[in-house]
Structure 1
Amino acid sequence: MSSSEDDAPLARGRNGVKSDDRIPKSVDRTMDKQNPSNGHVEPGVSIRMGPVEEMDTDPPASGTTNGKRKVRGSLTNGRTYKEASSSEDDDKPLSKRRRTSQQNKQVKDDSESELSDVPLKVRKPPKATAAQIGESSDSDIPLNAKLVKEKEKIEKAATKEAKKIRTKEKAAAKRKAKSDSESDDDVPLAKGKKQPAKRASNGVKKADSDSNAPIAKKAAVKKTTKVKAEAATPAKKGKAKSKAETEQDQQAEDEEEEYRWWENTAKGDGTKKWSALEHNGVVFPPEYQPLPKKVKLVYDGVPVTLHKDAEEVATFYGSMLNSTHNVENPTFNKNFFEDFTAILDKTGHGKDKDGNTVKIKKFEKCDFKPIFEWFESERAAKKALPAAEKKALKAEKDAAEAPYMYCTWDGRKQKVGNFRVEPPSLFRGRGEHPKTGRVKKRVLPEQITINIGKEAKVPEPPAGHRWKEIKHDQEGTWLAMWQENINGAYKYVMLAANSDIKGQSDFKKFEKARELKKHIDTIREDYRRDLKSEKMADRQRATAIYLIDQFALRAGNEKGEDEADTVGCCSLKYEHVTLKPPHFVIFDFLGKDSIRFYDEVTVDPQVFKNLKIFKKAPKTNGDDIFDRLTTSALNKHLTSYMAGLTAKVFRTYNASWTMARLLKDMKPTGTIPEKVKEYNDANREVAILCNHKRTVAAGHAGSIEKMQEKINGLRYQVWRTKQMMIDIDSKTKKKKGAEYFERPEDLDDEWVKQHIEFLVEEQRQKITKKFEKDNEKLKAEGEKEMKPKELDERLEVATELERKLKKEHKTSKVEAEGKGPTVEKMEANVEKLEQRIETMKVQMEDKEGNKEVALGTSKINYIDPRLTVVFSKKFNVPIERFFSKTLREKFDWAIKSVDEDWEF
Structure 2
Amino acid sequence: MSSSEDDMPLARSNGHLSASRISKSEDKAMDGPVSDKSQPSAAGISIRNGPVNGDPMDIDHPNGGAKRKARQSISKPVSYKDESDSDDVPPLAKRLKAAPKKEPDSDDEPIAKRKLPPSINETSLPVEDSSDDDQPLGVKLAKKKAQIEKQAEKDAKAIRASETKVKKPAAKRAVKKEESSDDEPIAKSKPVKRATNGTAAKKANGLKMEKTPAKGKAAPKKEAKSNSPDEDDEEEAHEWWNEQKPDDDSIKWTTLEHSGVLFPPEYEPLPKSVRLYYDGTPLELQPEAEEAATFFGSMLNSENNVKNPVFQKNFFSDFTALLKKTGGAKDKNGNKVEIKDFAKLDFEPMYEHFRKQSEEKKAWSKEKKQAEKEKRLKIEEPFMFCKWDGRKEKVGNFRVEPPGLFRGRGEHPKTGKIKKRVLPEQVTINIGKEAKVPQAPAGHKWKAVQHDNKATWLAMWQENVNGNYKYVMLSASAAVKGKADFKKFEKARELKKRIDFIRKDYEKKLKSEMMQERQMATAMYLIDKFALRAGNEKDTENEADTVGCCSLKFEHVTLREPDIVIFDFLGKDSIRYYDECQVDRQVFKNLKMFKKPPKEDGDDIFDRVNTSQLNKHLSNYMEGLTAKVFRTYNASYTMSNLLQQLNPDEHKNKTINEKVKLYNDCNREVAILCNHKRTVGAKHEEQMEKMTDRIKGAKYQKWRTKMMILDVDPKQKKKKGADFFTREEELTDEWIIQHQAFLIEEQRTKITKKFQKDNEKLVAEKKKPLPEKEHKERLKAVKELEAKFKKENKSKKVEAEGRGPSVEKLEGQIKKIDERIKNLEAQSADREGNKEVALGTSKINYIDPRLSVVFSNKMGVPIERLFPKTLREKFNWAIQSIGDDPDWEF
Q: Among 203, 206, 213, which residue is 2:204 paired with?
A: 213
> Which residue number corresponds to residue 394 of structure 1?
373
Deviates most, 569-578 or 48-57:
48-57
Is this contact kept in 2: 1:37–1:605, CA < 8 A? Answer: no
The one-letter amino acid of 1:740's match is T
Q: Residues 819-858 of structure 1 correspond to what in structure 2 (within 5 A)?
A: 819-821=803-805, 833=817, 836-837=820-821, 839-858=823-842
Is this contact kept in 2: 1:216–1:896, CA < 8 A? Answer: no
Deviates most, 534-543 or 392-401:
392-401
1:747, distance to aligned residue in structure 2 (A)? 5.9
Is this contact kept in 2: 1:67–1:578, CA < 8 A? Answer: no
> Which residue number corresponds to residue 168 of structure 1?
162
Q: CA RMSD in A?
A: 3.8
Q: For 1:686-733, what per-residue CA distance to the aligned partner results, in whole angstroms no more than 9, with x for missing partners?
A: 111222222333333332333334345445545655665676678989
Q: For 1:813-832, what per-residue CA distance to the aligned partner results, in whole angstroms no more than 9, with x for missing partners?
A: 65443334467766765675
> Which residue number corresponds to residue 674 of structure 1?
658
Q: Among 141, 150, 164, which residue is 2:144 paired with?
A: 150
1:565, distance to aligned residue in structure 2 (A)? 0.6
Task: Give the Cα separation in 2 of the matches to 1:327 and 1:739.
Answer: 55
Is this contact kept in 2: 1:716–1:747, CA < 8 A? Answer: no
Task: Give the Cα separation in 2 of the matches to 1:834 and 1:208.
Answer: 44
Calculate the TM-score normalised by the size of structure 2. Answer: 0.81
Q: Among 583, 589, 596, which residue is 2:563 paired with?
A: 583
Calculate the TM-score normalised by the size of structure 1. Answer: 0.80
> Which residue number corresponds to residue 867 of structure 2?
883
> Which residue number corresponds to residue 467 of structure 2?
488
Inter-CA distance 653–402: structure 2 relative to 1 (3 Å threshold): same
> Which residue number corresponds to residue 556 of structure 1?
535
Give 3-state SS (helix, strand or coil) of 1:518's partner: helix
Task: Give the Cα separation in 2 of the matches to 1:801 and 1:60.
Answer: 73
- Which structure has more relative contact order (CA 8 Å, sep 6+)? It is 2
Inter-CA distance 848–686: structure 2 relative to 1 (3 Å threshold): same
The one-letter amino acid of 1:152's match is A
> Which residue number corresponds to residue 24 of structure 1?
23
The one-letter amino acid of 1:570's match is C
Task: Give the Cα separation in 2 of the matches to 1:782 and 1:297.
Answer: 44
Is this contact kept in 1: 2:546–2:570, CA < 8 A? Answer: yes
Is this contact kept in 2: 1:21–1:535, CA < 8 A? Answer: yes
Task: Give the Cα separation in 1 of the matches to 2:699 and 2:847.
Answer: 39
Larger Rg: 1
Inter-CA distance 35–423: structure 2 relative to 1 (3 Å threshold): same
Task: Give the Cα separation in 2 of the matches to 1:524 and 1:738.
Answer: 59
Q: For 1:153-200, what per-residue CA distance to the aligned partner results, in whole angstroms no more than 9, with x for missing partners?
A: 2211211121222233334443899xxxxxxxxxxxxxxxxxxxxxxx
Task: Give the Cα separation in 2 of the matches to 1:22 and 1:615.
Answer: 15
Task: Give the Cα separation in 2 of the matches to 1:353 and 1:203.
Answer: 78
> Which residue number corresponds to residue 689 of structure 1?
673
Give 3-state SS (helix, strand or coil) of 1:47's partner: strand
Give 3-state SS (helix, strand or coil) of 1:492's partner: strand
> Which residue number corresponds to residue 902 of structure 1?
888
Inter-CA distance 833–169: structure 2 relative to 1 (3 Å threshold): closer
Aligned length: 797
The one-letter amino acid of 1:377's match is K
Inter-CA distance 329–537: structure 2 relative to 1 (3 Å threshold): same
Q: For 1:64-112, what per-residue CA distance to the aligned partner results, in whole angstroms no more than 9, with x for missing partners?
A: 98564756999x9999645879x9xx99xx9xxxxxxxxxxxxxxxxxx
Give 3-state SS (helix, strand or coil) of 1:392's partner: helix
> Which residue number corresponds to residue 605 of structure 1?
585
Is this contact kept in 2: 1:716–1:743, CA < 8 A? Answer: no
Task: Give the Cα separation in 2 of the matches to 1:368 and 1:678.
Answer: 50
Deviates most, 712-721 or 560-569:
712-721
1:662, distance to aligned residue in structure 2 (A)? 1.3
1:298, distance to aligned residue in structure 2 (A)? 3.6
Is this contact kept in 1: 2:194–2:206, CA < 8 A? Answer: no
> Which residue number corresponds to residue 818 of structure 1?
802
> Which residue number corresponds to residue 288 of structure 1?
267
Inter-CA distance 455–521: structure 2 relative to 1 (3 Å threshold): same
1:851, distance to aligned residue in structure 2 (A)? 2.0
Q: Residues 180-579 of structure 1 correspond to what in structure 2 (within 5 A)?
A: 207-210=198-201, 213-214=204-205, 216=207, 259-264=238-243, 266-267=245-246, 269-560=248-539, 561-579=541-559
1:756, distance to aligned residue in structure 2 (A)? 4.8
1:808, distance to aligned residue in structure 2 (A)? 5.3
Q: Percent identity?
A: 59
Q: Residues 640-719 of structure 1 correspond to what in structure 2 (within 5 A)?
A: 640-668=620-648, 669=651, 670-671=653-654, 672-714=656-698, 716-717=700-701
Is this contact kept in 1: 2:53–2:73, CA < 8 A? Answer: no
The one-letter amino acid of 1:528's match is E
> Which residue number corresponds to residue 193 of structure 1?
none
1:519, distance to aligned residue in structure 2 (A)? 1.1
Task: Give the Cα separation in 2 of the matches to 1:203 and 1:582.
Answer: 43
Is this contact kept in 1: 2:53–2:71, CA < 8 A? Answer: no
> Which residue number corresponds to residue 119 of structure 1?
none
Deviates most, 349-358 or 644-653:
349-358
Is this contact kept in 1: 2:42–2:143, CA < 8 A? Answer: no
Task: Give the Cα separation in 2 of the matches to 1:693 and 1:666.
Answer: 25
Give 3-state SS (helix, strand or coil) of 1:345's partner: helix
Give 3-state SS (helix, strand or coil) of 1:710's partner: helix
Is this contact kept in 2: 1:41–1:583, CA < 8 A? Answer: no
Give 3-state SS (helix, strand or coil) of 2:726's partner: helix
Task: Give the Cα separation in 2 of the matches to 1:410 and 1:350.
Answer: 53
Q: For 1:309-362, what per-residue CA distance to the aligned partner results, in whole angstroms no more than 9, with x for missing partners?
A: 233223222222222332333322222222233223334554445554443332
Gaps of 5+ in 2: 1-9, 86-108, 172-192, 212-232
1:425, distance to aligned residue in structure 2 (A)? 1.8
Task: Give the Cα separation in 2 of the matches to 1:753 and 1:511.
Answer: 59
Inter-CA distance 52–544: structure 2 relative to 1 (3 Å threshold): farther
Q: For 1:861-897, what per-residue CA distance to the aligned partner results, in whole angstroms no more than 9, with x for missing partners?
A: 1111111111112232221111112211111111111
Inter-CA distance 464–837: structure 2 relative to 1 (3 Å threshold): same
1:449, distance to aligned residue in structure 2 (A)? 0.8
Deviates most, 792-801 or 286-295:
792-801
1:624, distance to aligned residue in structure 2 (A)? 0.2
> Which residue number corresponds to residue 14 of structure 1?
13
The one-letter amino acid of 2:41's match is V
Deviates most, 789-798 or 688-697:
789-798
> Which residue number corresponds to residue 115 of structure 1?
none
